[in-house]
Structure formats: C-alpha cells, structure tokens
Amino acid sequence: MDPVIVVGAGPVGLMLALCLARHEVRVVLLDEASDGPAPDEERLSRTVVLGPDTAAMVERLGCATEDGTRWTGWRTMRRRAVVGRLAFTRPGESAEADAAEGSVAAGPSPLHLPQHALTRELKAALVSEEKVRIVRGGRLENLRQDAFGISAHLRGDKSSAWRGSYLVGCDGARSTVRKLLGARFPGRTAVERYAVAALRAELPWPGEAVLHRSPARGGEVTARPLPDGVWRLDWPLPPGGELVTPDALLARVRDSLATWCEDVPSYELLDTGVHLVHHRLTRRMRTGRAFLAGDAAHLLGALGTQGLDEGLRDAGNLAWKLALAWHHGTSEALLDSYQAERRGAIGDRLRAADRALPAVRGEGGWSSVRRTLVPGALRGHDELLTDGHLGRGQLGTPPSYARTPLAPAAPPAGSVTVDTPLGAQAENVRVTAPDGTLVPLRDRLGGDLLVILTAPGSGVWERRHWADAGLMPQLAAAVSALPMRAELLVTDEYPGAPAHTVLVVRPDGHLVAALAGVRPAELYACADAVRGGTAGGAEPAGRGRKGSDGAAAAGAGPSAAGTASGDGAGAGSAQPPSEAPSEATANR
C-alpha cells in the first residue's frame, strides 16, 4: 500500500503524521523548508492555547510540555475591580476551597506554550517513527489522482514525484494543495487585529491569566503567563488598519504595567508583533483522495478563539479514518464523514463569532451583548470573551458531532441517557487499562474503538478478581466479534450512567452510544457505523496494539481490560452476531 502524503510540517501536519504512524500507516511528510529553523520561528509573541482535549493529544504522543504553563486561574477585571475569577483544578487542591474565596471552579486549565516549542516537540517525536519519511526543500507543483492513488510532483526536479494512497494538505493559509484542488476559500479578511508583546516582568498574579476590560489607562488587554516570568500581552486594535508604531506599542506596555503595578516596574521586552485574524472556510475539505486540514481548510480566531485547536482536531479526526481505509480498504462514507463533521463544526464556530462580534466590539458593546445574545442578562460581555479564550461556551467548546454519518440511523435498542450527549466528547473518567492500572480515558484515545463498562466498585478490586465475573466474559466475547478493532475498558462510574452501562467511544473520543448491559447485535451495529459500513478487505493478521502480556490482541482472547478484535472477521466480511439475551438488569 502506498504511503499517505502529508504536505506541510507545521503543528497540524506533524500531528497528523505522528497519529498515522501510531496507527502503523506509512507516511511521507513533505516539508517545503530546508533543514534548520525558519528565521522567525522562535518567537515568544506567537503562542498557542490548547484545550484539555488537544493538550492530551500532544502529551499522548510523547511530546514534552515543560515550556508551557497551565494557569491556576482566569481573572476578569473592569477598571480597577475584579469582577470574576475562575479557578482551575490542580493536584491536591479542592474546588471547594477556591469557591470559598469567591472563585468559581472551572475544571482543568488549558495549556499555554510557544508555538515553536510545540513544533519542536512534535518534530522530536517524529525522529523515532520509522514509518515517517521526511522530505525537505521541495515545493509542491502538481497533483494527479487516479482510481488507485495520488501523485505529488515537486517543483525544480522532474524526477521528484511521490506516489501516495491519500494526500493531506496541511500547508497553511496560502495552501498550494488547496489551490491545486480548486477548492474555494471564501470568508472575511482582518476580522480583528491585535498588538502583541512578550515580556518578562513580575506581575501581581503569578500563574493567573487576566482579561482587563476598560482599564484606567490604555485599552482592553489580555495577559497570559508562560514559565520563567514571561507574559504574553494582547491588545485589540480599532478597525481601520492604521500602522502600529514601536512607540505606540511601548506606550501600551507601559500603560498596562502602570495600571496593574501602580507604577511601571522593570521589565524585559522579548518580542512584539501585530496579529491579524481572518475568518475563512474552504468549500471542500475532501476532493477524491486529497484532504485539507488546519489553516489550509479554515481560518478563525476572533474574540480569543484558538485556530490551532481546531487544526489539531482535524488531525485527530482524520488520522483514524485514513488508517482504517489504509489497512482495510476505502469506505466512502467513512472518508466523507471528515468533511461533514469538521466543516460543520468550524462553520458553527465561525457563525457564533460573527453573531457576537458586532455586539462585543461595536458601540455600546457591554449593554448590547446583554440585550442581544443572552436573554435575561445571565451572561455578559466579559463571560463571552472568557469563553473564547478558554475554549468554553458557544465560541470554544470542543465540537459535538450530533449529526455525524458515522452513527446508527436510529438509537440502538437498549440505549440509555447519560450526561454526555451522543456525538460529544466523552468525559475524561478514570478507566482500567489493559495492565490493570487506572488511567484517564484520554490516555486510551487515538488507537482503537473503545468499549467501556460502567461497573461500580470495580476500582477497589484487583483485576484478577472481576475479569471473569458478571458481565465481563459475555462483553469480552461481543467485543472480540466486532468488525473493527476495539479495546475493552472498565470504569467505576461515569456521569449519569447507571450500573452496567456499556459506552462506545470513537478513537477521537466522541461518544457513539450508551447501552444498557451487554447487547452484541447493537454493539456490532455501532462499530459498523463508526467504520462507515463495509469497507472491503480483511484485517492483516497480527496488526494492532499489543496487549499487556505482549501477545497481539487479536489472539489474546477475552479479558476484562484488554484489546479485542474482529480477527477472522475482517473489516468488510464480518457478520453481525445473533441477538443475545440482554443483561441490562443483571447484577452478578
């Protein structure tokens, strides 16, 4: 099978190449740059804020995040008063203590780090991946597709052509891949502008991020900490495009520091810049065997939202689908679902920002947003901006694929309702891993389909005591008969789930179904929908993640928290098992 060609070695392209390699897919990564860092690569004014789900993706791939920081809180100020504070959960600290201090517990913190540090760590993780070949210094000139693959021709060398099974353009806002595919890229230019400064200083709130509205001096400013006393400061600029001079930027720095510290403290200015926000979304994210991801497919970022978050979600969404097609044969429904899910999610995010922008940035923004966006004035201007910066609410919450084509046409028999809506990301509960240890659910994502049994009390018992008890043998047998590889896990509890609920979770963490007890036919239908229906081709023997005993999971047999696969019943040939009696009410 020809490799998957990834064009572009920014964070999204690197993430996609890593994810595909972990799925045992061969990759050719085309990096237009030559060896060595780009002249403007290491800039502290270019940072990224990753939500808990995308930060977990980065860490799951073995990337260190020591150059970033997780904030202790988010403080909102207006003039000289603190009008709200969110406290993020930290090890060994109770949410109740924060609430007693007038703060609201807000769950895990996002991860804030320089973009060049993220790129460096992703590149370092690729060094040990034998399935990834990096080709540097060539610029894409032409693409040609046929029924069996796609060819990428590089400029300047007629013999420099690469043959692939699929190709993904992760080559940025000026994407050559997008232009060669003829995919339109409509939208708006310079929706917002920001002046940015990175500096080292001692500010009054170490470890906390700050949104300061209507300060006594200067305009609205956001301060976000990095390690070693470094801060990134952002000021939204008025429309019109007038030039931001160095003197004007320094005046903004001094005004903000003087407001917070009563006088201008000593500081070291490390980097400055002007950041433009564009809103664009391609008409097509898939054209035959070619796909678009990241900035090549969409641009967003107004009101504090993070475009890179969505680019990394593109990579996580596409990687497991391409891996299934690469190993088992193409399912058009599976590959089409990438555009349906991701383009729909980005479109929703852009529409939400477009609705909010006139009220938030226009005349009388504070009063306007209370009237037009939040009936009853339950939420306000500051809360809306906070949601954008922290990846919450209508501007930033991770997408829910409620209308995905990769789900049963109707809820399966025996479905139950849990606190997570179908299509949304599953809660990051503690689950029992194949070796019997307790790990966060996000640590098990990025590989196989997950089937999770909610078994209250199982967390206090050793695995050997319950691996062959109650529902486990029947559930393990049902999982082993699924038409795609699946991993069976156990959790002590899941929000809103009754005992013996069986959860089906996609490799990218989205909930497919919640079933009462062991229902082999319904489980099969869910797995079949997730893989896009019959794809053709049987699973190669011995492929897949190994179990804790070192044996390939396909031959490991049923276990409580191991990996099971439909070995011998390949991705296109397995037949659904006969209906078995439900044990929804069993308690043994």
576-587: pLDDT as tens digits: 444 333 333 333
Mean pLDDT of 95-113: 74
* Higher-confidence position of 461 and 169: 169
Note the pTM of the prediction, 2 decimals: 0.87
Residue 228 gets the label, from left (phi > 0), alpha (psi -120 to 50) or beta, of: left
- Is residue 381 over pLDDT 90? no
**Residue 231, beta-bridge partner list:** 199, 225
d(CA 550, CA 544): 12
Residue 156 gets the label, from left (phi > 0), alpha (psi -120 to 50) or beta, of: left
Q: What is the pLDDT of residue 37?
A: 54
> What does the block give as tokens for 433?
């891993």
Band (pLDDT 50/70/90 cuts) for residue 376 is very low
| Contact by Cβ (8 Å): 196, 186 | no
Quote helix, strand, coil % in the chain, to nearest 5: 30, 25, 45
Q: What is the pLDDT of residue 253?
A: 95
Band (pLDDT 50/70/90 cuts) for residue 262 is confident
Q: What is the pLDDT of residue 516?
A: 96
Mean pLDDT of 555-567: 34
DSSP string across 108-163: SPPEEEEHHHHHHHHHHHHHT-TTEEEEES--EEEEEEETTEEEEEETT-TT-EEE
d(CA 339, CA 288): 12
Sign of torsion, CA 20 452 440 559? negative
Q: What is the pLDDT of residue 135?
A: 92
| Contact by Cβ (8 Å): 113, 65 | yes
Which of 7, 22, 5 is CA-nearest to residue 323? Answer: 22
The 8-class DSSP code of residue 440 comes to E
Q: What is the pLDDT of residue 469?
A: 66
282-295: pLDDT as tens digits: 999 999 999 999 99
> What does the block give as tokens for 518?
């062991």
- Is residue 296 over pLDDT 90? yes
* Higher-confidence position of 36 and 30: 30
Q: What is the pLDDT of residue 445?
A: 96
Band (pLDDT 50/70/90 cuts) for residue 92 is very low
The 8-class DSSP code of residue 486 comes to E
The rounded mean pLDDT for the chain is: 84
Task: Please tell me the least confidently modeled range out of 359-368, 440-449, 541-550.
Answer: 541-550
